[in-house]
């Protein structure tokens, strides 16, 4: 029997996954991965795999990552830049959204570069085989070790502040005097300068970075000083400028404004003789977490950015830069769901019913951190009528550990499989072992194949780094 699109209805009566009305559905506009289907058992199927069967096989909670959705989003970014931008462009995946070997490898195989923000993310990217010349190291307090690793690998450094500029000059001087690294010394360090554009956008305060009162980047007031300093440093090759205004943004205006501001900076840099040929406009395109979210498509976002840069370059009389963008959430967010086993229920008469799941704030800290709202469905009862209005409670010892405050689900029983949608971005990467819960496994699904990409942590993993001082060992035990 042929599987059909998921018919589950949301509160407003619209389908979670409409029959696509376009040949190129933009994944960030859908709640479920593009391959989601209702199969012959009335079960949710993703990447050709029955979700309930995956849970039987790999346990729960389980991150289920759909390769086709991730690859489609990568290609849509790349194709849109080729369509709208006559100059050179590069899309780099902001891997803080989800960094692990398999994700880095998939994204790199689509021709994207990588944005990393720590030695750990950088190490993982290199281990995954991502070419170093497509890796950009970010961070507002990079250690000397992190900088040295990135420099020796041949990555580009996105410099955030004065302290870091000085550290880089010192690293270059060190390598010049060291006999072992003559080649590193011979080549100046490739850098971009991160600036704070002073652009406000409507998103949660914690995920806003472009306003002037921000810990990230140089203040634009210091632009002349920074350009003058950098132009005097033969060890530094300043090839570009960077800005990022925030995350989960739906308005196109903010990014359009950013293009104008950045091209003004670019024009100024040329006065200092800096060889600036790259503008990195950051990431930020939002995704649909609920039926009321209405983000622009990847194509629309790229179009606005490209047109803004082209127009501003014409006005300022500067050549088109190599245009870099750094999407994270809109690439990986919609490609993943989290599957949980449902546990017991508690009804507080006249108030609400709590239905528990076997995970919560340790595998998805976003609801408790940002009051993020998610939608869920029951994977093994896909067409059952949504008769219950319940709270989905996590299993952590914390009252605020509520995955979804108000979910519309069918009547369920313990053991049913609840799927929370849109969990690819900043869920695994912000996961923790709170209450000593082992982190979940993750599988990459594609055309009926499910490959383990993150092994489930075990209780042994939890005590692996523990050390028991000799004097605390119980001899009588």
Does the footprint of ligand LLP cover residue 208 (CB under 6 A)?
no
- Rounded CA-CA distance 238/278 in Å is 9
CA distances from 180 to 59, 169, 183, 184, 474 (A): 49, 18, 8, 9, 50
Helix 223-231 crosses helix 162-177 at what angle (to 10 degrees)?
10
For residue 13, which phi and psi values (nearest 5 degrees)?
Answer: 85, 5
Does the footprint of ligand LLP cover residue 288 (CB under 6 A)?
no
The residues, ordered by sequence, that sit 6+ positions from 361 with a Cβ below 8 Å of its Cβ are: 367, 368, 394, 396, 398, 400, 401, 432, 434
Q: Compute and round to an integer the Cα radius of gyration of the chain.
A: 24
Identify which of 374, 331, 395 has the alpha carbon closest to the alpha carbon of residue 60.
Answer: 395
Tell which positions 409-468 bind ligand LLP, by CB under 6 A.
425-426, 430
Window of 18-26, 82-90, 282-290, 466-474 that interacts with ligand LLP by CB under 6 A: 282-290
- Rounded CA-CA distance 235/151 in Å is 12
Closer of 247 and 446 to ligand LLP (Cβ): 247
Cis peptide before 61 (omega within 30 of 0): yes
In the complex, least distance from residue 203 CB atom to ligand LLP, rounded to whole angstroms: 8
Does the footprint of ligand LLP cover residue 284 (CB under 6 A)?
yes
- Rounded CA-CA distance 356/341 in Å is 9
Closer of 158 and 223 to ligand LLP (Cβ): 158
Window of 10-18, 328-336, 342-350, 398-406 that interacts with ligand LLP by CB under 6 A: 328-336
Window of 283-291, 305-313, 355-363, 391-399 that interacts with ligand LLP by CB under 6 A: 283-291
In the list 9, 105, 149, 207, the residue contacting ligand LLP (rule: CB under 6 A) is: 207
Closer of 285 and 437 to ligand LLP (Cβ): 285
Does the footprint of ligand LLP cover residue 326 (CB under 6 A)?
yes
Closer of 55 and 201 to ligand LLP (Cβ): 201
In the complex, least distance from residue 73 CB atom to ligand LLP, rounded to whole angstroms: 11
From residue 340 to residue 369, what is the string marking binding to ligand LLP with x (rule CB under 6 A)? --------------------------x---
In the list 6, 94, 337, 361, the residue contacting ligand LLP (rule: CB under 6 A) is: 94
- Rounded CA-CA distance 398/434 in Å is 10
**413-427 burial, b if ≥16 CB within 10 A, otherwise e?**
eeebbbbbbbbbbbb
- Rounded CA-CA distance 241/231 in Å is 14
Does the footprint of ligand LLP cover residue 190 (CB under 6 A)?
no
- 119 within 8 A of 143, measured Cβ to Cβ: yes
Closer of 204 and 352 to ligand LLP (Cβ): 204
Active site residue 313: no
In the complex, least distance from residue 276 CB atom to ligand LLP, rounded to whole angstroms: 18
Window of 2-10, 255-263, 280-288, 446-454 that interacts with ligand LLP by CB under 6 A: 280-288
Closer of 244 and 341 to ligand LLP (Cβ): 244
Report residue 136 as tokens.
């950009």
- Rounded CA-CA distance 415/344 in Å is 9
Closer of 96 and 396 to ligand LLP (Cβ): 96
In the list 43, 71, 138, 288, the residue contacting ligand LLP (rule: CB under 6 A) is: 138
- Rounded CA-CA distance 48/420 in Å is 18
Tell which positions 106-135 bind ligand LLP, by CB under 6 A.
115
- 6 within 8 A of 17, measured Cβ to Cβ: yes
Does the footprint of ligand LLP cover residue 247 (CB under 6 A)?
yes
Does the footprint of ligand LLP cover residue 283 (CB under 6 A)?
yes
In the complex, least distance from residue 208 CB atom to ligand LLP, rounded to whole angstroms: 9
**457-477 burial, b if ≥16 CB within 10 A, otherwise e?**
beeeeeeeeeeeeeeeeeeee
Does the footprint of ligand LLP cover residue 328 (CB under 6 A)?
yes
In the complex, least distance from residue 243 CB atom to ligand LLP, rounded to whole angstroms: 8
In the list 37, 255, 329, 381, the residue contacting ligand LLP (rule: CB under 6 A) is: 329
Residue positions annotated with a catalytic role: 397
Which residues of the shown chain bind ligand LLP in the complex (CB under 6 A)? 94, 96-97, 115, 138, 207, 209, 244, 247-248, 282-285, 326-330, 366, 370, 425-426, 430
């Amino acid at each position: 029997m042929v599987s059909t699109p998921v018919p589950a209805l949301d509160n407003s009566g619209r389908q979670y996954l409409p029959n696509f009305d376009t040949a190129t559905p933009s994944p960030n506009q859908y709640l479920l991965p593009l391959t989601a289907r209702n199969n012959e058992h009335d079960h949710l199927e993703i990447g050709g795999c029955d979700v309930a069967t995956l849970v039987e096989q790999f346990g729960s909670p389980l991150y289920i990552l759909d390769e086709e959705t991730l690859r489609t989003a990568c290609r849509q970014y790349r194709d849109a830049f080729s369509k709208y931008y006559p100059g050179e462009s590069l899309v780099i995946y902001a891997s803080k959204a989800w960094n692990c070997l398999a994700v880095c490898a998939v994204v790199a195989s689509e021709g994207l570069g990588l944005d990393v923000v720590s030695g750990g993310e950088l190490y993982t990217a290199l281990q995954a085989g991502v070419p170093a010349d497509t890796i950009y190291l970010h961070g507002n307090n990079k250690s000397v070790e992190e900088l040295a690793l990135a420099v020796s690998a041949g990555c580009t450094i996105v410099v955030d502040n004065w302290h870091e500029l000085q550290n880089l000059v010192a690293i270059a001087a060190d390598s010049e005097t060291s006999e072992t690294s003559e080649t590193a010394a011979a080549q100046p360090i490739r850098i971009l300068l991160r600036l704070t554009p002073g652009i406000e956008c409507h998103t949660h305060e914690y995920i806003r970075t472009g306003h002037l009162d921000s810990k990230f980047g140089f203040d634009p007031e210091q632009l002349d000083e920074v350009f003058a300093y950098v132009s005097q440093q033969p060890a530094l090759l300043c090839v570009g400028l960077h800005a990022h205004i925030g995350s989960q943004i739906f308005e196109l205006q903010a990014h359009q404004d950013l293009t104008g501001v950045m091209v003004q900076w670019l024009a100024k840099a040329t006065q200092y003789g800096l060889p600036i040929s790259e503008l990195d406009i950051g990431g930020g395109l939002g995704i649909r977490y609920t039926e009321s979210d209405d983000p622009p498509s990847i194509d629309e976002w790229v179009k606005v950015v490209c047109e803004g840069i082209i127009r501003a370059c014409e006005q300022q009389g500067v050549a088109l830069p190599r245009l870099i963008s750094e999407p994270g959430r809109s690439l990986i967010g919609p490609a993943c769901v989290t599957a949980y086993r449902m546990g017991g229920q508690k009804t507080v008469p006249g108030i609400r019913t709590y239905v528990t799941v076997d995970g919560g704030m340790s595998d998805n800290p976003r609801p408790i951190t940002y009051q993020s709202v998610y939608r869920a469905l029951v994977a093994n009862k896909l067409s059952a009528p949504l008769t219950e209005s319940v709270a989905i409670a996590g299993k952590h010892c914390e009252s605020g550990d509520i995955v979804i405050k108000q979910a519309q689900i069918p009547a369920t029983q313990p053991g049913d499989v609840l799927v929370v949608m849109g969990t690819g971005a900043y869920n695994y990467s912000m996961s923790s072992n709170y209450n000593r819960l082992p982190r979940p496994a993750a599988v990459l699904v594609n055309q009926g194949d499910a490959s383990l990409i993150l092994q489930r942590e075990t209780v042994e993993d939890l005590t692996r780094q523990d050390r028991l001082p000799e004097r605390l060992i119980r001899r009588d035990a």
